[in-house]
Every structure is written in structure tokens, then in C-alpha cells.
């Protein structure tokens, strides 16, 4: 008998509190790790060290930071570069890496839709998270073909009649984009497989479910700003200062309360509110990429496996 979503999410949370990362299966289903010893977080949030380097068609996906080396599909016919585009800005290497990664991504996330522009790629995909949930997590990913621009993603809970932004915990200021890992810790970087990024976002959404249902963010977290910690971290969550052994109430909370000025608190609440841009919210309803123009070409993903 399969446990219900709440039981599943509770168990995932208990594992994450012990530094054990869950396993992401095809269609973005998150399940507790059956072999906790094989996948542990080493110090930093969301670092996923795993033995597997490829994802079986129906099995769990455990990713490493190594490139997949997938054979990839032939890239669709390109339009000629417009006169204004600069070859030094647009990275052909990134474009090629992301396009090669689409095959794996479409197998793992059968709802995947991808759009290509000469400067960027947009991906849209849904994660089941847990069977019987009654909603899915809808993600938009923006992958610029430039190493100087940040890769961003947004998440929404989706039902037939609703789109609800997933936040504001662990999203970026001010655009509400997903903050699923520390950019500096090497978890994922530009040119890495898009499927690995979707897996990270999928687990991030599962943690949001835990927050919604059980009132606390499970597992280690990085929240360097004291004002943000005061406003958002619950007493029984791990502290966000980089100490991954103590709960907030036993770590920085007393100092945060004593040292943080009212100005810093006002700054956090008044000037750093997070929300997705209107174009992103509209895109979530239309299920099209933001700023869709004739220039932005849908990418054929070839033969997509039927959703199981
Ligand atoms: Zn602390």
C-alpha cells in the first residue's frame, strides 16, 4: 500500500533533517531515500553526492555534477543571427550543452516544453511531487546563453483552475525566483544538465509542501541575513548561518534579536519583498514563455515517452 502524500513528505523531511537527500523519479516524483547511506548532504544545502551518473528509464535519478555526455538530438535549424547579436555575448557552448541535455530532460519530465531564442532558452515542465497530491508543481526555467547572466526559475502550484506562486521562503529578491541551492557551492552551474536543475527545483517544491503542512522548512538551509532569519526561520528549523548542527533557537536567534536594528528589519520588509514579475505569472497561466515572440522558436523534443 502506497503511503499518502503527507506521510511521504513527512518522511522526506525527517530524512532531510538528518542530511539525507530524497530521490527524484521520473515525472518529478519525490520519494524518501531507501538507502540513506548512499546519498548524504555534506555540509551545504542541497549538495547531492550520488553514485549514479545516469537515470534509468523508470528508475530513480541521482545526479552528479559530471556532464551527462548524452548523444543528443541534432539541433533544429537555426535562424541566421541578427546583426545586433554579438558572438562574444552568446555562448555557443552553453547553447549546445542545454540542447544536448534536452533529451534526458524530456525523458525525465514528459511535460517538458522548450523554446529557443538566439540569446536564451526557456523550459517549462511539471513535477508530480507526490501521487495523489491534487496539484502539480509547474516550473519555468530561464537559461541564458551567457555566463554573465544568472539562470533563474520560478515555481507555481498548478490545478485546473489555479496557479499559485511557490514562495516566499527560499526565493530570491526581488523577483521571487527559486533559491534551491547556494550558487557558490558547485551544486549546479551554467552548462550543467537542465534535468538536474529541475530535480533540485522539484525537491525545493517538496520542502515547500513540508513547510505548508508541518510548519517548518526541513533540512539544512542557508539564510545569511539576520533580519531574514528573524522574520522567516522557525525556532525548530536549522539555523541559516552555516551551522548545520543547531536549531535556530539554539544558534543565532538570541544574537539576531539583540543586534538587528529596526532599520534592518524595515529594510527587509519594506524594500526586499519578493514576488514574481507579472510576465512570469501570466506565463504560468498561459503556459507559454514570457515575452513570447515570433523570434522565440519552440524546440521539437522528438519522440516523447507517454506519461506513465
Ligand atoms: Zn546560527
Predicted confidence at residue 36, as pLDDT, reads: 53
Total-model pTM = 0.81
Rounded to 5 degrees, φ, ψ at 249 are: -60, -25
**Residue ranges of the chain with per-residue pLDDT less than 70:** 1, 35-89, 292-297, 302-308
Of the candidates 179, 167, 205, 206, which has an alpha carbon nearest to the alpha carbon of residue 31? 206
Instruction: Tally the C-alpha atoms within 13 A of residue 199's C-alpha that lie toward its C-beta.
Output: 29
Please give the backbone phi and psi of residue 290, each rounded to the nearest 5 degrees, phi first.
Answer: -60, 150
* Interval between CA 142 and ligand 1 midpoint (Å): 33
Burial label, 197 (beta-carbon count in 10 A; 0-12, 13-18, 19+): buried
Q: How far is the CA of 240 from the centre of ligand 1 (A)?
A: 6
pLDDT at 89: 67
Cα(83) to ligand 1 centroid in Å equals 52
Beta pairing partners, 267 = none
Q: How far, in Å, from the CA of 225 to the mean position of ligand 1? A: 11
CA 205 – ligand 1 centroid, Å: 24
Closest CA to 219 of 232, 208, 230, 229: 208
What local confidence, expressed as pLDDT, does residue 78 receive? 32
Tell me how far the alpha carbon of residue 252 lies from the centroid of ligand 1, in angstroms: 4
Give first-to-last CA distance, the chain, whole Å: 19
C-alpha torsion sign, points 32, 33, 37, 39: negative
pLDDT 10s digits, 174-203: 899 999 988 777 899 999 999 999 999 999
Percent of the chain with pLDDT over 90: 63
Sheet holding 152-159, edge to edge: 162-165, 152-159, 136-144, 120-127, 113-117, 297-299
* Residues whose beta carbons lie less than 5 angstroms from ion ligand 1: 239, 241, 243, 251-252
pLDDT of residue 143: 95
Grid cell digits, residue 156:
507555481
Contact indicator for 18, 245 with CB cutoff of 8 Å:
no
How many angstroms is it from 302 CA to the middle of ligand 1? Answer: 49
- Per-residue model confidence (pLDDT) at position 302: 60
Output the CA 64–ligand 1 centroid distance in Å. 29
**What whole-number distance in Å separates Cα of residue 98 and Cα of residue 76?**
13
State the distance from the centre of ligand 1 to the C-alpha of 275, rounded, in angstroms: 27
**Rounded to the nearest whole angstrom, what is the distance from the C-alpha of residue 303 to the centroid of ligand 1?**
49
Centre of ligand 1 from the C-alpha of residue 43, in Å = 14
In the chain, where are the structural domains located?
5-68+90-222+272-298, 223-271
pLDDT for res 244: 87
Centre of ligand 1 to C-alpha 241, Å, is 4
Cell numbers describing residue 290 = 514570457
C-alpha separations of 155 from 142, 149, 198, 215, 262 in Å: 12, 20, 10, 19, 32
Amino acid at each position: 500500500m502506497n503511503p499518502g502524500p503527507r506521510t511521504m513528505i513527512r518522511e522526506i523531511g525527517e530524512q532531510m533533517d538528518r542530511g539525507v537527500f530524497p530521490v527524484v523519479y521520473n515525472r518529478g516524483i519525490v520519494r524518501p531515500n531507501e538507502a540513506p547511506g548512499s546519498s548524504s548532504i555534506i555540509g551545504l544545502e542541497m549538495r547531492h553526492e550520488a553514485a549514479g551518473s545516469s537515470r534509468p528509464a523508470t528508475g530513480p535519478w541521482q545526479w552528479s555534477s559530471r556532464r551527462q555526455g548524452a548523444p543528443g538530438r541534432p539541433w533544429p535549424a537555426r535562424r541566421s543571427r541578427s546583426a545586433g547579436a554579438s558572438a562574444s555575448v552568446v555562448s555557443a557552448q552553453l547553447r549546445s550543452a542545454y540542447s544536448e541535455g534536452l533529451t534526458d530532460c524530456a525523458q525525465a519530465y514528459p511535460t517538458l516544453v522548450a523554446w529557443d531564442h538566439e540569446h536564451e532558452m526557456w523550459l517549462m515542465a511539471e513535477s508530480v511531487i507526490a501521487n495523489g497530491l491534487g496539484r502539480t508543481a509547474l516550473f519555468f526555467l530561464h537559461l541564458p546563453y551567457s555566463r554573465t547572466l544568472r539562470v533563474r526559475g520560478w515555481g507555481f502550484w498548478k490545478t485546473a483552475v489555479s496557479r499559485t506562486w511557490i514562495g516566499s521562503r527560499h526565493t530570491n529578491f526581488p523577483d521571487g525566483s527559486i533559491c534551491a541551492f547556494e550558487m557558490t557551492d558547485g551544486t549546479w552551474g551554467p552548462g550543467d544538465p537542465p534535468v538536474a536543475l529541475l530535480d533540485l527545483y522539484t525537491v525545493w517544491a517538496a520542502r515547500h509542501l513540508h513547510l505548508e503542512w508541518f510548519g517548518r522548512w526541513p533540512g539544512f538551509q542557508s539564510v545569511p541575513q539576520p533580519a531574514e532569519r528573524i522574520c522567516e526561520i522557525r525556532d525548530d528549523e536549522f539555523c541559516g548561518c552555516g551551522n548545520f548542527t543547531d536549531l535556530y533557537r539554539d544558534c543565532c536567534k538570541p544574537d539576531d534579536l539583540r543586534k538587528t536594528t529596526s532599520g534592518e528589519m524595515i529594510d527587509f520588509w519594506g524594500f526586499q519583498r519578493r514576488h514574481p514579475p507579472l510576465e512570469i505569472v501570466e506565463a504560468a497561466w498561459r503556459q507559454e514563455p514570457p515575452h513570447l515572440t515570433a523570434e522565440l522558436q519552440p524546440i521539437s523534443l522528438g519522440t516523447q515517452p507517454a506519461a506513465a
